[in-house]
Amino acid sequence: MKAVILAAGKGTRLEPVTSTRSKPMIPLANKPLLEWTVENLIHIVDEIVLVVRKDQQDIIEHFSGTLKIKFVYQDEPRGTGHALLCCEKEIDSRFILLNGDEMIPRSDIETLSKKTELQLSVFYVENPKKYGVLKIEGNKIKKIDEKSETPQSNIVSAGLYLLDKRIFNYLKKIKPSARNELELTDGLNLMFADGIVVEPFSLSQWVTITHPWDYLDAQKLILDQTGTQIGRNVKIRPGAFIEEPVAIGDGAVLGPNCFIRKYSVIGKNCRIGNAVEIKNSIIMDNSYVSHLSYVGDSIVGKDCNIGAGCIIANLLLDDKKTIKVKIRDDVIDSGKRKLGAIIGDNVKFGVNVTIMPGRMIWPNMMIPPCTLIANDIKQQPVIDLEKRVL
């Protein structure tokens, strides 16, 4: 059996962390999300067909030479249906299909691979409007209603499939959607309408990466499954306290007197200084968090320097409210009461900077000392010396 992973999406809703890398290459527990997916598949299938764009050199270089992996290139981003069509020549029987931006337990993939009928994974969510809602009769899927304003249930399509070659015939019949893309969902609905039996398969856990804060949820799932991971040549200085599970990368230095709270990940060669607290965050490789700083529920890119006394706030003054974040031109409710900052690569902070909850900072910014960051920063700021508010 083969598996196909669709990993060619651009991930614009995940900026600024995807401004400098492909979205499946965000590190979770110090390994790219896509690597966790490959590891979950490698002992189940004979070959993994990885669909990417030719400009995704981070994926291509990372997985080139990896046993069982074959690249298929999507010439332009024309949707999930088109991405799968690019694989038609590689598929000769039943196959597993996954999206490259989802985290699904290995045990679920193994169970699905042994089913006799075709399968489509399902999951219960509180807000089904964001997903494809399923109409199920008996043990047979009849339709996927994509992003309905009036969903008929809370059971949604969850991005793991067991299919066969017949799907390609249906994908060739569909027309571009309103986004001018060929949608996998449309091909599946044609299959269902023809009476082909596809059964719902319930997942035990599922995280799909739609917005940056979803990476924190995926990381929690990984750490719950794998436990604490401490790399080589890590220095844990006196007074450092670690609350498990966490992951600490090779060559990291912690402390003295720092607090690494559970579900935090510290990348390779990072430095966490005196009296620093890190809570439920991703600190990528080669980043420094200097003394007397707090980082909560945040993502910090690689090669960043957070100056002494910086505070990344993760909770509103009215702590019952959820935090809203600007994604492209829309303001999105994250649904989270606690959410800190999303910081791109190579951002440098002066001392005593305060960042308000849910703010985003694009790569390569230099943040002046003693400033309050109340808005997203996409270009190098010019500080108002009197107000010191960005």
First to last CA, the chain: 54
Q: Which domains does the chain have, with CATH numbers?
A: 2-208 (3.90.550.10), 228-373 (2.160.10.10)
Q: In one letter, which amino acid is 372?
A: L
* pTM as predicted: 0.93
Residue 241: helix, strand or coil by DSSP? strand
| Structure token pair of residue 150 | 């009036």
Instruction: Tell which residue, 103, 92, 102, 139, has the closest CA to residue 119.
Output: 139
pLDDT at 233 (0 to 100): 98
pLDDT at 179 (0 to 100): 82
User: What is the DSSP annotation of 63-113?
Assistant: HTT-TTEEEEE-SS---HHHHHHTTGGG-SS-EEEEETTEE--HHHHHHHH
pLDDT at 220 (0 to 100): 95
Q: Which residues of 303-342 are buried (b: 16+ CB within 10 A; e: fewer)?
A: bbbbbbbbbbbbbbeeeeeebebebeeeebebebbbbbbb
Q: In one letter, which amino acid is 285?
A: D
User: What is the DSSP annotation of 328-382?
Assistant: TTEEEE---SB---EE-TT-EE-TT-EE-TT-EE-TT-EEPTT-EE-S-B-S---
pLDDT at 229 (0 to 100): 96
Residue 356 CA: distances (Å) to CA of 19, 65, 338? 21, 43, 11
Residue 375 CA: distances (Å) to CA of 121, 170, 348, 358, 364? 39, 46, 17, 9, 17
Catalytic, 291? Answer yes
pLDDT at 180 (0 to 100): 83
Phi and psi dihedrals of 106, rounded to 5?
Answer: -60, -40
pLDDT at 291 (0 to 100): 97
Residue with the two structure tokens 């809203």? 324
121 and 158 Cβ atoms separated by less than 8 Å: yes
User: For 196, which DSSP code?
Assistant: -
41 and 103 Cβ atoms separated by less than 8 Å: no
Q: Based on the number of CB atoms within 10 Å of its own CB, is 181 exposed (0-12), middle (13-18) or buried (19 or more)?
A: middle
| Structure token pair of residue 312 | 């990344």
Residue 57: helix, strand or coil by DSSP? helix
88 and 74 Cβ atoms separated by less than 8 Å: no
Instruction: Tell which residue, 61, 52, 50, 49, has the closest CA to residue 8.
Output: 52
pLDDT at 338 (0 to 100): 97
Q: Distance between CA 6 and CA 31 in Å, rounded? A: 18
Count CB atoms within 10 A of the CB of residue 240.
Answer: 18
Question: pLDDT 10s per residue in the chain (390 long)?
Answer: 999 999 998 888 999 999 999 999 999 999 999 999 999 999 999 999 999 999 999 999 999 988 899 999 998 878 999 999 999 999 999 999 999 999 999 999 999 999 999 999 999 998 898 899 999 998 999 999 987 788 888 999 998 999 999 999 999 999 888 888 899 999 999 999 999 999 999 999 999 999 999 999 999 999 999 999 999 999 999 999 999 999 999 999 999 999 999 999 999 999 999 999 999 999 999 999 999 999 999 999 999 999 999 999 999 998 889 999 999 888 999 999 999 999 999 999 999 999 999 999 999 999 999 999 999 999 988 777 666 787
Marked catalytic residue, from 43, 62, 82, 291:
291
pLDDT at 385 (0 to 100): 64
